[in-house]
């Protein structure tokens, strides 16, 4: 049995989407970020970084990082078709998008949400947030152009775990107001992903509403 440590609408949701899509046997432990559950000693024993998500494996041991968990689940449940196989020509683009989203877009978002980690100057906070917003919009516009040309999914007509991650990020809109109105191909992908029954179940549990412009 897998155990996912999660909090509403945090980065745990991408991992959660994959577990549910895969039909994996798993249970969940709510680590309520609104109550600083991720900074409590019980959780720090699970992930000393104090971040979500974390997942306990059936064989023991913990994996953190939402993209790593997504890829692990995709690899362990190949019948769910969450990732192209290792020798599939789309494997490279799949990894590229998964890493790009987790390693470039998501950190820009984290700079917006945690600006005090970027500067020691209180007066610099506003500038850090503005710069992060600019970068996020630029990254969405590149992704949108790719999807307009090659979509509806990141890999064309094939859904993958990278789309689930993209969908999660597209719902974090305080850092990019009106993402769906500004980036219609991102919106099209989000609508298709949100319509998947497994994704809808997890989205509802996380209180993520339907896609609206
Ligand atoms: N690179 C990590 C980032 C995880 C992360 O920053 N999660 C946020 C929630 S969305 C968190 O736990 N923040 C608490 C903190 O950084 O103190 C991942 O992709 O899983």
Instruction: Please report the pLDDT score of residue 185 as a whole number.
Output: 98
> Which residue has the least CA distance to atom 13 on ligand 1?
51
* Closest approach atom of ligand 1 to CA 107: 1
pLDDT digits over 41-65, tens only?
Answer: 999 999 999 999 999 999 999 999 9
Cα(46) to centroid of ligand 1, in Å? 14
Residues with CB under 6 A from ligand 1: 10-11, 38, 50-53, 65-67, 102, 106, 110
Angle at 114 between CA 100 and CA 53, to 5 degrees: 60
Index of the ligand 1 atom closest to the CA of residue 67:
19
State residue 213's pLDDT score: 75
Tell me, in angstroms, the distance from the centre of ligand 1 to residue 195's CA: 26
Q: Going by CA atoms, what residue is nearest to atom 1 of ligand 1?
A: 65
The pair of three-digit structure tokens given for residue 184, joined into one six-digit string: 């219609």
The 3-state DSSP class for residue 27 equals: strand
Nearest atom of ligand 1 to the alpha carbon of 102: 19
Cα–Cα distance, 161 to 167 (Å, whole number): 10
pLDDT digits (tens, 9 = 90+) for 138-163: 999 999 999 999 999 999 999 999 99
pLDDT at residue 66 in the model: 98
Domains of the chain: 2-80 (3.40.30.10), 91-204 (1.20.1050.10)
Residue 7 · residue 30 · CB < 8 Å: yes
**Separation CA 77–CA 91 (nearest Å):** 16
Instruction: Give the H/E segment covering residue 28.
Output: strand 26-30
Phi-psi region of 121 (alpha: psi -120 to 50; beta: other; left: phi over 0): beta
Q: In what helix (H) or strand (E) does residue 5 lie, and over which residues does it extend?
A: strand 2-6
Average pLDDT by stretches of 10, the chain with 213 residues: 97 98 98 97 98 98 98 98 98 98 98 97 97 98 98 98 98 98 98 98 95 85
């Amino acid at each position: 049995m897998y155990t996912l440590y999660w909090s509403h609408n945090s980065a745990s949701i991408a991992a959660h989407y994959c577990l549910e899509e895969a039909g994996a046997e798993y249970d969940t432990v709510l680590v309520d970020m609104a109550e600083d559950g991720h900074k409590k000693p019980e959780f720090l024993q699970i992930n000393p970084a104090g971040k979500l998500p974390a997942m306990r494996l059936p064989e023991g041991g913990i994996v953190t990082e939402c993209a790593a968990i997504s890829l692990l689940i995709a690899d362990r449940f190949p019948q769910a078709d969450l990732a192209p196989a290792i020798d599939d020509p789309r494997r490279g683009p799949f990894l590229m998008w998964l890493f790009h989203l987790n390693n470039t877009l998501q950190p820009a978002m984290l700079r917006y949400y945690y600006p005090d980690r970027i500067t020691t100057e209180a007066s610099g906070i506003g500038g850090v947030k503005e710069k992060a917003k600019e970068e996020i919009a630029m990254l969405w516009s590149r992704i949108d152009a790719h999807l307009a040309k090659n979509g509806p999914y990141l890999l064309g007509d094939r859904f993958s775990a990278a789309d689930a991650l993209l969908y999660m990020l597209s719902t974090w809109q305080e850092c990019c107001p009106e993402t769906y109105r500004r980036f219609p191909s991102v919106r099209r992908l989000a609508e298709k992903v949100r319509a998947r029954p497994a994704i809808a179940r997890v989205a509802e549990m996380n209180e993520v509403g339907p896609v609206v412009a």
